[in-house]
Amino acid sequence: MSRELTWSHNFTDADAARLCQLASIANDPRYRPYVCLWVTDGVVCNLHFQASEFPDHLRSAHGVVGADKASLMCCWVNCFAEMPKDCLMRHINENHLELRHICPICHEQFTRANTMQNHMSRKHSGN
Ligand SMILES: [Zn+2]
Ligand SMILES: [Zn+2]
Ligand SMILES: [Zn+2]
């Protein structure tokens, strides 16, 4: 208990509404997190993000910037195709951003819903 904790004074109805909105988005299957498999220096990024955050993430985390016609390499794992920057976003969307199905119990990731269901019944069936 400290008087230093002044954040509660700034917690408005708008903040509360935003939190409720975030909570409902988390349960919305359309907003399941994508996983970034961009490789930098041999290390896969592995960050989870919402689809709408991805262009910003590529820019700020992976330095995908420059003129639209500048030739860039897609450093997605196992891809490494070269293309103009204005094609890259669409390329990634169409080729790499599959919705992941994430096990709610151990958070293992699967590309297909039925693979995850198999996993659930093999690993987590309590009965
Ligand atoms: Zn990333
Ligand atoms: Zn690619
Ligand atoms: Zn699991």
Ligand nearest to the CA of 122: 3
Q: What is the pTM of this model?
A: 0.53
Residue 1 has pLDDT above 60, yes or no: no
Per DSSP, the residues of 33-93 read PEE--BEETTEE---EE-GGGHHHHHHHHH---S-TTSEEE--BTTT--EEEHHHHHHHHH
- Cα of 63 to ligand 2 centre, how many Å? 15
Q: From ligand 2's centre to the CA of 36, what distance in Å?
A: 12
34 alpha carbon, closest ligand: 1
pLDDT in tens, 16-73: 777 766 666 555 555 556 788 999 999 999 888 877 788 889 889 998 887 778 888 9
pLDDT (mean) for 82-111: 81
The domain spans of the chain are 9-123
